Chains A and B, each alone.
Chain A
Amino acid sequence: MYFEKITEIIRDQLGLEDAKIERETSLMKDLEVDSLDAVEVIMKIEDEFDIEIPDEDINAFKNLGDIADYVKNKKEG
């Protein structure tokens, strides 16, 4: 559920309707998103799930699966 919602945010935010997006997909490497777009995606995720993601945690994300797991952990403990 978290991964699906995050995928939806990314497609919507970046206009990537047809792009292949999987848990292993990296925002910056695979989707060629620049740093400001990446921050915007994170901001949307923060708004959507009503959480705050500190910079040091963002730097540890390798792919979208990491982000989904992180959000799940924050929301469900």
Chain B
Amino acid sequence: MSLKGKSALVTGGARGIGKAIALKLALNGADIIVNDVADIETMKNTVDEIKKLGVGCEALKADVSNESEVKDMVSYILEKYGKIDILINNAGITRDGLLVKMKESDWQLVMDVNLKGVFLCTKSVIRSMMSKRSGCIVNISSVVGITGNPGQANYSASKAGIIGFTKSAAKEVGSKGVRINAVAPGFIYTDMTDSLPEAVKSKFLENIPLGRYGEAEEVADVVLFLCEERSRYITGQTIPVDGGLAL
């Protein structure tokens, strides 16, 4: 129970990797606030599953790319729980397409949710973390933010942006006891990756030294480590969890 008494906000926490992270943190004692824009049923199912682990949990619907919605969400949490010890910036979307055909709106939407969302959520919680001289933020980047990927100019740019953001923010607030790291998942089984064309999926597989796709829980294990005291001397890093795909 390494996270007992801590409260954690997980954006995009109702499904996929975010849900696996929320469950993993809950299993280790943290109270969980799930943020998502999923339907009520999906949010409720995730909350029920987390509560079964014996921790507090509630779901808050808010668009991470909307400043006032993020501010309201964070104010509510701070008022109710008194603190946010852990922020997992996981919310993300794809709008894939070849660069020559990519609509500006698809570029902008992906940048808004994936990168601006990280900025807005981090900015909103950092003040409280700095005051408490303690806090831990993990941003979910992607292996394609390191390697690039055809058809994902918008997504990979947003995920590469997260890596730069993580380094800068870690340098800014390290002296205030706040650590910020990133995890770069490779090809992980989720609803989002399931929708990729078969040809793309099998091409990925050819390039994974460990010879298989990853599981969301394998990403969650690394996120858990980065939230725990035993990673106390690690900040500003991006850790690939990709079976060697980015090598």
Contact = CB atoms under 8 A, between A and B. Distances in A.
Whether both chains belong to one complex is answered with yes
Interface of A: 36, 40, 43-44
Contacts, number: 11
B173 interface: yes
B127 A43 contact: yes
B75 to A, nearest CB: 13
11 contacts: A36-B172, A36-B173, A36-B175, A36-B176, A40-B130, A40-B131, A40-B176, A43-B127, A43-B130, A43-B131, A44-B131
Interface string B174-196: 01100000000000000000000
Contacts of B127: 43
B89 to A, nearest CB: 21
Contacts of B172: 36
Given A36-B173, A40-B130, 9 more contacts: A36-B172, A36-B175, A36-B176, A40-B131, A40-B176, A43-B127, A43-B130, A43-B131, A44-B131
B181 to A, nearest CB: 19
A10 B80 CA distance: 28
Nearest to A47: B131
> What's the interface size class on B, roughly?
under 10
**Top 8 A-B pairs ranked by shortest CB distance?**
A43-B127, A40-B130, A36-B172, A36-B175, A36-B176, A36-B173, A40-B176, A43-B131
A72 B99 CA distance: 54
Contacts of B130: 40, 43
Interface string B101-131: 0000000000000000000000000010011
B168 to A, nearest CB: 12
Contacts of B173: 36
A19 B104 CA distance: 55
Nearest to A39: B130
The residue among A36, A43, A44 with the most chain B CB atoms within 10 A of its own CB is A36
Contacts of B175: 36
A43 B173 CA distance: 14
A44 B176 CA distance: 14
Contacts of A40: 130-131, 176
A24 to B, nearest CB: 28
Nearest to A40: B130
A28 B172 CA distance: 17
Interface in B124-162: 127, 130-131
A40 B175 CA distance: 12
A43 B131 CA distance: 9
A44 B128 CA distance: 11
A36 B133 CA distance: 13
A40 B172 CA distance: 12
A20 B173 CA distance: 28
Contacts of A43: 127, 130-131
Nearest to A46: B127
A58 B17 CA distance: 41
A36 B130 CA distance: 10
